[in-house]
Structure 1
């Protein structure tokens, strides 16, 4: 074009709209094709040139030799954002193609979200759309995991069948959403879809509820709870808008909260009772969609949540729900509207011998000598190389008839306890279940060898399923066990002192420099090699303990045949001397 039009002489032309022409672009000093759009005067016209640069798709081979769209590849790697194409005819065609590509992407891949705007900040204003409403399971009774309870008493849960999809969706969002342009002031709308940066630094799909000064109140549409967060943690775009919300909203059927509004203590009860638990859901009022809250009966371990809230005086029964109440709580009213009397009868069953736990004193511990004295000891359990549980006293045989030695320490005869435990295990099926899980409660715990040993309750580790953290008092080790592996302990077994005493081994400490990568997770200052070395030293050996102090913790030196047991660790560089 330059060669042709640069050499032509200027001619007088009567310009008309839509005429094709050639124009000289002074800033680039080049000729381009154009079209007259408006005749301003006989010497000036308004024209448009062909779109430049031309929008194209470029393909190249990826790491495995497959041809991929370079734009999609950059988006997948988090190096670019999808661009919303203009409304020109060619732009619509490209946008349609983007939507088709998006529908073909799996959750595990980065997709081109058509609601994304161009990186141009002025254009980064997506349409005010919402995520699709949740889809009801095609069954009337199903299982959900309760993920949230709102202040209005609405209970949110994710169907167990969708848990895997939630995990995949969360992972896909993190992959797709790595780089963001700076967001200029934006006017949020109520119920507008967005993505939210949670307290775990991950992005989740959300919905705007209201603006509170510089903060935004949002609802996590796939997690089911509400939170007020800084505005900088909210971005007004939709992620995977074709995927419906995964969390279902539920309302307890057949009950009305006291005062027609759920009180704070009632909400606290619901959260403590239901959160992170799997519950059975029965839809009581069929619905075509989940735009409105579902009226359901929630049941845990066969117990209706509605009945539970009625019994604890947080709600009252609706007359229309009397059939449901009779079905799942037959003893609640017995045909009459007097639930308190019926529940009194149920409490009598809880006081039966099957549920009764004898209140027992805590275990005693052996008396230790004054600091500076020595006594025989055996290591029963190690937490770290210098934090161990020891058993006080020499290794005895069955013919020993002495319960003292020259150190002045008194010991209970070991044979009596061992014989009592042996007899108990022969009739273990007669033991009663443990029903009192208070801290330090003496009990019997089933070990992996199938035998029952003395233990004590440390804490409730998990509510659903119920898991109790216990410690074997004669060995020092701990275990997290279901309540079915705990039994009440006969009172005569509590009279024997616990044999495992926690002590700190004096004379050495963790090394200042350690190249060992394999470390103890719960005590990273120690290496696994140091722990295994100490286990090899003390395992099954009769040791001598020198008591250094009793307070603030019991501290001892341990010797084997006159040598400090920690010296091999120091020689190997696994520990430093601490004198």
Structure 2
């Protein structure tokens, strides 16, 4: 029953996806909850990481293994550790494959037909190490007649052989498979009592080698040497016994007492059971012994009279018939609660930008050629620094850091352990399941590396990056994109060679000096001005732009639209964005394929990496991969954003009026107070001649909007009940 309740709790807890439950970086042997083919959740353990976005898990309550996606894993709640794993790893004892090597497919199929998902009787024949399967003998369940040994059936069908020195029973002689009992066992032979009432057993096999006729279900089969069984009964509590079992209970209790009191074996001991037998240890009893006069007295009274055997004021039952005080419960040691380590939040900045060579002739050593056709090279000075830096890197990481799960959202620079077991400096480009895409900042080489070989820490951060990115001047790839054969040719011609180059232009690390966008000049408070609404978030939160004076804004005779067109015509001249700090400027590619000015808001995804940006000239937001982001030329910062975020004053969402719409799903998911109808009506009313007047600048820019008749645009929403006046 406890497993039925456990399964119901699992389905209820994990039916709704929660971000904090997701497993970002699975670790070997990590306990988790995994989704199965029936779309239900089961307890599992990570047993392998084949790569990509898949891991191998074993369902601990059944024994089978399966490859699942990382997205189908969840962190396990502490309370789900309370029930022991149900599947017990076993092997069929006394038999081996006929050829002594491997089991044949025919034998495996036959064993599955005899045992898989069937109730069988199991008898343990040994107690192996914890890492080895438990050797058992299996018998087919039968209501009457002798039991059929599955091992004998396999031998008779010539699918298996008995181990050396073991012979099958004689013809017509029933086989007796009594498991051996350990000497000094705490359980006496109670076959007669077992026939009357079976004991409830724990779901572990601590005492299974002392029992027989145990019903189990075979839950999963790999071969006769590896299969999993589930106990039919798992309740560890011993039930209350009837009068017919009092003799058995007395015999068992007497043996337990004698084991606890071996030093009093020469004494005449009489014991009384204080309460019903439970799993509690030590068992609470009252011991009586003869005193000097031959009278039975309480052992507690006797010890109390001899010395400080009991606390002051405590009196136990004696021969005078004093009442027995309640026995205080003995505190039982409890195992420490099992916890699953959550992802550790860590933040690292980038390594310092490299020193660039001067304009004119220079000598460089090419260290890498990227898929985008960029060359990565080192100057002679950087080559000398690299030799000294290698020794410093190994000295700074003398011990292997402890591997943990990290969030990776705010990690940029990191330490990389290479295949040669040496340390290198890198920067994180993208997280790919159990791997990360990393670029070596000292060579420019890009590789996919398992997360267990990278650590979010900066090594020798006082030394700048040694690799300089170079672009071939005046060369454009065919079709606008570098093909694989072209990149391969560049690597064959240039890689690991020293070349003489002429530096025609320098593009430094612009993201290190770029600041925020400049603020536009706005009219005074209360002064009306004509605006154009560019984006609507809710009926009272939108983005607009003043029409008066915006067309005259230009830089060195070039308007913003002209500058953006020029940059889009030569996107190869721009570099990929590497500084993804919150609020940083960038160029973001829109759905029309062109790049527009944007601002980084946050990382919206890690697997794969996605960046949430806001188009500052339109107000709309987009979640994009890093490949669709570019560094913003510094000159474009001198144009103010063409969309101002404002709050429209004077009205708000109706209080309680949108309950019906919310039930029908006709509300904004990100702002449930507003209905879709109110949003669409407001959007329709904002077309045409709109005038704004600033009401307040702090804490946020607040305005009033008027239509061409000079009336507040939100009044129709209020009159129709879609909004309320504030």
Normalising by structure 1, report the TM-score.
Answer: 0.46
Higher gyration radius (CA): 2
Normalising by structure 2, report the TM-score.
Answer: 0.37
